[in-house]
Chains A and B, each alone.
Chain A
């Protein structure tokens, strides 16, 4: 009979998890006894009584978890411990290998000496200090925290630049480094397009569209939304460009941001002029025409950005660019649904989880001649005064501070916008509901599922007053994402929602439902 003991120091698991684990291991072939319990003296005595107390187990503490298995063979033991490992990691919701929790920075470095990237998520006032520690140890840094002052941001970024390191953030929510998605990122193919972005959902959308086009991502570097402010000077956007220029797997460089400060934009463009690699620039809502005239490949939408990058790689679109038969059918369906609208139904009502997707939709709808109001608008005439009531064509970023104060971000809990979906359904002016659903790491496990009932409720409310309410949605994700894009899409389609393949497509469908002829049919 073979016995093996494993100890997890200061391991915290629900009793339910431990009971389930014990039951499952005891049910495996060749297992005589499995005991999973805390290392209290009584539990050790129990192990001793059945001849399973090793020196290691005897030495462990009350708050350590003992995993003890007695089996017929070494093979059965091996299988049992593989099973234990899998079950414990699954229960933690973390299928990747991870170390034991550590309490200090020094212990973390010691536990993982080969690490070269630190992710910092601590209260903002401490974030810069922790970032500096990491930089001084030669690590790149991703700062998820916000509430870091501009002065601190500049200080850590200058420190990093001096060392040839990256600081992604503060308030950086998305990155893909060496194929690993960090924070809110989608699971996409690896490839030859390198991205630097000062925009979370913008980076998500372009990486997702690249994946749809059959391409892949070498690196996707987030800089944090303020990097292109005059005070910071685009330090990390520049470092990101340089890193991608030096990265042998990157063949095309993509820049995504809201329009930078002119002096910062100048620096970015100068850097790109000297680049040996082709680049695509997407300064959303910026002057793309001027960039083109200056000889740059400039895009006005996130979908165009991905397509232009594909063009540089001479890649044939792998379908679904929005220009094909599928999109025409969607437009036809939109026309059919528009014919069912009542006289007063005129307005687009966009309820978004993604901030950059809201900004992109605003830009596209404006381009289609609609006078839109939004809480993320920069132009005073487009700024929505009262976010609680939609007026005319309205696009709301429900992830903005005014909505998330006291609530989680809607990408984590998209159900929070459900109330507003129903509210818009009751509004006789609403001609179309326009929704986005983000998939990927960090996002809700079933974003469409938690909203379906609200969509139906909104429609019932409209129907009760003799109106038909079209709904347009975009699911930002890939088939590799844990939420499964196909089933999320199916769920929406079964509820009668027109599901677009990009945010641009969705915006154009919404414009069509609001009576626009669509200048550019995607």
Chain B
């Protein structure tokens, strides 16, 4: 039986992806790192993630290209196993004897977090918390964050209880410690939770996303201390969790998280609700975890704003959780 080759065209790709032909040696020895329901991850010989290939409804993320395919993705990609070597044909990737992905004509999309943006009005946190209550999924950092924020959210799994304990520590640190201290403490949180991007990593991604958008100080910290922070995190989390955090500190998050961040800082309640609903749909708990991280970031921004305002008035006092 002669099957021919299926050439899938990428319709859009994150602008940071370097095409194989332009990237030279990094693509030599590239292999399939992992295969999921709607995504294949490609890594280089050095073990670094080079590219994620996905089909709709996957949400465009840093390092990802979306392929034009309306059929059964699972059936199409399931024969492709982790560790299989891929071939480079021009700017295309030959994943197997019969499947080629062509990236050359894809529209470039920026997922860069804009900033610094204006401070979010206080009602955004309440609206985001409400969205988390309505759209969030259990099992990750969503309910632990709601519980830490004072809502009677049940904590049913071991991971939810552990995440709650860690989030309480972080929230208290945000109220009593310095900015660098809080960022540093997040390394100890990374890697906690179910999944290949553990809940804590998704939470931190959302948190850094909004902090980078709102605080020039965070950008400066990421520029000067980000590499060391990442080196510590690399030893504490999964391959994909680390890659996501690396992109986040480089100022890039997935399209759905970016929509929530921009809606928080420059949108209105309606836009935020729609964006939060979209992000919560991501993965099993990943989107919910990111929403919780963004909510924690917003909360922290308000706390620091008040603290800085109080410091100006020389009347610093410990803040309470919202």
Contacts and interface: CB of A to CB of B under 8 A. Distances in A.
Interface of A: 10, 12-16, 18-19, 22-23, 26, 33, 35-38, 40-43, 46, 49-50, 62-63, 93, 101-103, 121-124, 144-147, 171, 173-174, 184, 200-201, 225, 355, 399-401, 403-409, 411-413, 415, 444-445
Contact of A42 (B75, B83, B189, B239): B189
Contact of A404 (B3, B159, B235): B3
Contact of A173 (B1, B76, B94, B192): B1
Contact of A408 (B74, B76, B196): B76
A15 B290 CA distance: 14
A35 B196 CA distance: 14
Nearest to A123: B87
B158 A46 contact: yes
A412 B75 contact: yes
B4 A37 contact: no
B37 A403 contact: no
Interface residues of B, number: 55
B2 A355 contact: yes
A111 B36 CA distance: 24
B191 A43 contact: yes
A235 to B, nearest CB: 20
Given A19-B284, A413-B71, A444-B75, A123 B3 contact: no
Given A15-B286, A16-B283, A62-B239, A42 B191 contact: yes
Contacts of A173: 1, 3
Given A93-B78, A413-B71, A355 B1 contact: yes
25 contacts: A15-B195, A18-B194, A19-B139, A37-B194, A40-B198, A40-B237, A42-B192, A46-B158, A46-B192, A50-B158, A62-B237, A63-B239, A103-B83, A122-B84, A123-B96, A144-B97, A146-B97, A173-B1, A225-B2, A404-B2, A406-B6, A408-B76, A408-B98, A411-B1, A445-B75
Interface of B: 1-7, 34-37, 71-72, 74-76, 78-79, 81-85, 87, 94, 96-98, 139, 157-159, 162, 188-198, 200, 235-239, 241, 283-286
Q: Which of A124, A400, A412 has the most CB of B within 10 A?
A: A412
B159 A35 contact: yes
A506 B246 CA distance: 60
A258 B127 CA distance: 70
A37 B6 contact: no
Contacts of A62: 191, 235-239
Interface of A is mostly: loop
A404 B6 contact: yes
A50 B237 CA distance: 20
A184 B3 CA distance: 12
A43 B200 CA distance: 11
Q: Which of A42, A62, A225, A412 has the most CB of B within 10 A?
A: A42
A405 B194 contact: no
A71 to B, nearest CB: 15
Given A62-B236, A62-B238, A123 B196 contact: no
B158 A14 contact: no
A147 B89 CA distance: 15
Contact of B283 (A15, A50, A103, A184): A15
B1 A201 contact: yes
A368 B35 CA distance: 50
B94 A400 contact: no
A22 B157 contact: yes
Contacts of A225: 1-2
A399 B1 contact: yes
A18 B236 contact: no
Given A399-B3, A413-B72, A14 B36 contact: yes
